[in-house]
């Protein structure tokens, strides 16, 4: 390790610190969603500012009146597409949607989302595990959106999922990470990447996810519904990078009392 004139320590391996999912390198630890953007132009600017290299889309019935395609935006930006199964309530629906996505988009990667109800949008763990098993067996690279449950995360990994994506809080809520302890437990035991998915409201939430040891953050609403989406996207990019560096650097332990940062020796005395 060398110390430069600025006092910053350089660890050569940090340059190699890339996210790897299913043996493939993903250039940014910020994975974006596309839902909620008011226009394709705003989406394009936000995605560019975020620096993301992997971005989710949903699969829906074709709309003959639709103008402009989110796929065109991703292609123009050189961003890899990650289809999701958003809106599916059963394993059957999710599996069919994943297969349609594979056919339509030519990728066997899928963000698996099986929700229990429209009110909370929380994952249905029973249906989720069922769908994950079917899709892994069918050769998919499965990235499941899951509850912040360490046991469920482990089960999903054992099934053969390529990552686990625990929620910080409900989708679109902006409530941040409600149970950081559980996220830490998931990180400690995981042998696949842990991607904090859902609930991020602002940059500090994304930074916290990375400080807790998550390998990446997936977010959409916090950017697409921000007053200035591109500016928030840039904030998220820096937050993810900053949080990752802090995690690698190793935070100091928390202490009950102060620890002086200036020496006590040699203090001037007065009468």
Partner 1 sequence: MKVIVNGEPRELPDGASVADAVASVTTAGSGVAAAVNDEVVRRSAWEATPLRDADRLEVLTAVQGG
Q: Which pair of structure tokens corresponds to residue 143?
A: 């990235």
Q: Residues 148-177: x/- map of binding to partner 1 (CB under 8 A)? A: ------------------------------
Query: Dihedrals φ, ψ of 131, to 5°?
Result: -65, -40
For 86, phi then psi, to 5°, come to -55, 140
Of 91 and 185, the one with the shorter C-beta distance to partner 1 is 91
Give the E-state strand segments of 97-140 in sequence order.
109-112
Told to check if 84 binds partner 1 by CB under 8 A, we report: yes
Residue 62 engages partner 1 in binding (rule: CB under 8 A): yes
The 10 Å Cβ neighbour count of residue 52 is 29
Crossing angle of the two packed helices 229-249 and 40-50, in degrees rounded to 10: 20
Q: Which of 46, 49, 79, 86 binds partner 1 (CB under 8 A)?
A: 86
Nearer to partner 1 by Cβ, of 100 and 249: the residue is 100
Q: Give the C-alpha separation, 130 to 61, whole Å.
A: 24
* Region from 17-25, 61-69, 187-195, 257-265 binding partner 1, contact rule CB under 8 A: 61-69
Q: Report residue 211 as tokens.
A: 């400080």
Between CA 240 and CA 249 the distance in angstroms is 14
Of 19, 26, 82, 167, which one interacts with partner 1 (CB under 8 A)?
82
| Least distance in angstroms from the C-beta of 113 to partner 1 | 8
Contacts of residue 141, Cβ cutoff 8 Å, sequence gap at least 6:
21, 22, 108, 109, 110, 162
Min dist. Cβ of residue 11 to partner 1 (A): 34
Question: Annotated catalytic residue: which of 111, 237, 244, 247?
Answer: 111
104 binds partner 1 per the rule CB under 8 A: yes
Catalytic residue check, 254: no
Give the footprint of partner 1 on this chain (CB under 8 A). 33-37, 43, 56-64, 66, 69-71, 81-84, 86, 92, 96-97, 99-105, 111, 113, 218, 220
Query: So which residues are the catalytic ones?
Result: 111
């Amino acid at each position: 390790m060398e110390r430069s004139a600025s006092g910053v320590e350089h660890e050569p391996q940090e340059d190699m610190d890339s996210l790897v999912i299913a043996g493939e390198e993903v250039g940014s630890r910020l994975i974006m969603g596309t839902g909620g953007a008011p226009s394709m132009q705003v989406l394009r600017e936000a995605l560019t500012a975020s620096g993301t290299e992997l971005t989710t889309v949903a699969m829906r019935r074709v709309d003959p009146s639709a103008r402009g395609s989110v796929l065109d935006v991703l292609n123009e930006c050189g961003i890899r597409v990650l289809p999701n199964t958003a809106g599916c309530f059963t394993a059957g629906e999710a599996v069919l949607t994943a297969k349609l996505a594979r056919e339509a988009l030519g990728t066997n990667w899928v963000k698996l989302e099986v929700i229990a109800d429209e009110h909370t949008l929380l994952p249905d763990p029973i249906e989720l595990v069922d769908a994950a098993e079917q899709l892994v067996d069918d050769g998919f690279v499965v990235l499941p959106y899951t509850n912040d449950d360490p046991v469920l995360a482990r089960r999903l990994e054992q099934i053969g999922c390529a990552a686990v994506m625990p929620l910080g809080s409900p989708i679109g809520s902006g409530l941040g990470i409600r149970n950081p302890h559980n996220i830490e437990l998931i990180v400690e035991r995981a042998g696949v990447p842990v991607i904090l998915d859902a609930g991020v409201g602002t940059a500090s939430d994304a930074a916290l996810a990375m400080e807790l040891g998550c390998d990446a953050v997936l977010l959409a609403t916090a950017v697409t519904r921000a007053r200035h989406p591109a500016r928030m996207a840039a904030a998220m990019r820096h937050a993810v990078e900053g949080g990752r560096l802090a995690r690698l650097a190793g935070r100091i332990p928390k202490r009950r009392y102060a620890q002086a940062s200036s020496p006590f020796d040699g203090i001037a005395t007065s009468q």
